[in-house]
Structure 1
Amino acid sequence: MFLKKIACLTALSVSAIASFTYAGSAHAIGFTYDPGSYRQASATSEGVFSKNVNEAGYTTFDFNNGQIPGNDRVKYSFSSGSYSSTAYSGQTGIYSDVWAPSGAHAEVNQSNYLAVFQGNDTIIESKGSDAFTYFGFDAGALSGGNTLKFFNGATLIKEFTYDMMNAAASVGASQHGGQKNGFFEFFSQDKSDTFNKIVISQTEGGGFESDNHTFRVTSVPEPSVTIGMLAVGGLFLRKRKNQKLQSAKESA
């Protein structure tokens, strides 16, 4: 369907499961890689999923229905205005698009997936005061220009590049000319690094293919609510202090 970039750096030798932490100023986002799991053991032609895919509290979008993903807590938007012109890449027949992210053992993915092409972004945001504490996706075939950015408001928390992801990946698929695939997970390690926006970009020729996006969303109190809670807490402490002073005077 589309010409795929052929650039590929030599991968570092790593174990099947790798874990890293990338820190930037006061923020740190955990990063793990795994060849991936299947939503159902018998379904190996839809790429791989988070090991949490069937657990409560996690939401997965698999792109299979060809509709813009999202729900009441997660919003997808596209820099070129529409799903079809910016990102979406559908399967029109078995093996019709070999660049779909592969299975854990490099099985061909026959399902629909997301592809972001040069000069375009897919933007994923939490709604309202919610924030993400976890994002995982099946990525591949990895190649130069694949870029993933995490934001808290307008603040860039961390950028992950092709070099970082490719160094961790271990599954090379023959249908991709040996380019790497696998499931990548990004997660908050404390309250300072929750994120509410993820930007998937392709900065060089070709595309950034991904599938089976999985999220964990948490509620973050509005500033006014937090201030109110602090005020109530302060009044309670002041009241307790006054009670202790009064008791001390009565005992004297």
Structure 2
Amino acid sequence: MNLIKSRSSQLAMGAISMAAMSGLSTTNAASAVTITYENPNIYSASAAIGPTKQVDFEAATLGNNSNYSINLTDAAGNGYIATYDSLQVSNYGDNGKTAGAGYAGQFASNIGSVPTTNLTFATTAGNNAAGIKYFGMFYSSLDSLNQLTFYDGSNILAKFMFSNIPQLLHYDSALVGGPYNQYGAFFNFYADAGEQITKINFTQTGGGGFESDNHTFRVPDAVSISGNEVDPAGLSVTAGTLRTQKIPEPGDLVGTLLGGAAVWGLKRQLRKKKLATTD
């Protein structure tokens, strides 16, 4: 099933009766990933997401790297390891990307002869089924030939490409930078409730490379969903489900439900008053 869905449809089942009155959907859909992007000149994850681990590849060896690993920690202090099976680390200055604060130092890409970089997660205790709930990255030069695939075990959460990058980012020219005038933005990816991200594939399906920086990880759920909603018309989803709308915060949901109930109650009172006046 290849779907682009609204994350706002994934509401708590306990709110079914009030949601029905207010016209909100509580339909459960397939497991998925939600995508958002940050404003121009933002190159790292929002503090609203909660504590995260960011890797800027400045400590990595320039050139090809095999089994490049990063240590992570969850909220309880348990150890995790993120491992890239193959990675090419380059300097922004090597390809002319020197404009803007985000285009400095080193960045990561797939090795030219290896189109896919696999990023996997495990606990230091050896649990290879471990995963994260949030992944973010500064996508320094968006390319319609880049493909991202998120897994939970063998299950594909979402597999997609950016089919129309300007439309995806609402034609925001402030996100265009560098001497090649390419779109770049910091993207957030959130696993659904009950799901985790155990593997990410970064695939270059044609010429060029899958270039990114400031990879960011969070093992537990995000405290809140940050970022702007992309235009789904700029996406091509080939497997799994990708949500393009943020799920309402719990307080917002309660307010919406209560607001819907209040409107329904007011209409009922007005109807009663009108009937009484008619009689």
Q: TM-score, normalised by structure 2?
A: 0.54
Query: Is it true that 1:52 corresponds to 2:18 in the alignment?
Result: no
Distance in 2 of aligned mates of 1:155 and 1:63: 29
Aligned partner of 1:206 in structure 2 is 208
What is the deviation of 1:112? 0.6
- 2:82 is aligned with 1:75: yes
Distance 2:106 2:33 in 1: 29
Gaps of 5+ in 1: 1-18, 39-47, 220-252
Q: What is the rounded CA distance, in whole Å, between the counterparts of 2:196 and 2:108 in structure 1?
A: 24
Q: Aligned equivalents of 1:22 and 1:74: distance in 2? A: 32
The match for 2:184 among 181, 185, 198 is 181
Map Cα deviations across residues 9-40 of structure 1 (whole Å, 9 max, x no partner): xxxxxxxxxx96599961121110113666xx
Q: Distance in 2 between matches of 1:53 and 1:63?
A: 24
Q: Which residue matches 1:246?
A: none
Q: Give the match's secondary structure for 1:96.
A: helix
Cα distance in 2 between the residues matched to 1:194 and 1:49: 21
Aligned to 2:94: 96
- Contact 1:33/1:168 (8 A) holds in 2: no
Structure 2: how far apart are the matches of 1:175 and 1:121? 27
What amino acid is aligned across from residue 33 of structure 1 in structure 2?
Y
Please tell me whether the aligned partners of residues 97 and 178 of structure 2 are also in contact (alpha carbons under 8 angstroms): no
SS in 2 for 1:132: coil
CA distance in 1, matches of 2:178, 2:158: 31
Shift of 1:168: 2.9
Deviations 1:190-235 (A, max 9, x none): 11x322111111001001110001111149xxxxxxxxxxxxxxxx
Could you tell me which runs of 5 or more consecutive residues in structure 2 were left unpaired when the two chains were aligned. Answer: 10-27, 62-67, 72-78, 222-279
**For residues 7 and 165 of structure 2, what CA distance do their matches in structure 1 show?**
12
State percent identity of aligned pairs.
Answer: 23
Structure 1 counterpart of 2:31: 27
Q: What is residue 196 of structure 2 aligned with on the other side?
A: 194
Q: Distance in 1 between matches of 2:50 and 2:140?
A: 24
- Over aligned residues, Cα RMSD in angstroms? 3.2
Aligned residue runs from structure 1 range 70-219, under 5 A: 70-71=70-71, 72-78=79-85, 82-83=86-87, 87-90=88-91, 95-99=93-97, 106-107=100-101, 109-116=103-110, 117=112, 119-127=114-122, 128=127, 129-163=129-163, 167-169=167-169, 170=172, 171-176=175-180, 178-191=181-194, 193-218=195-220
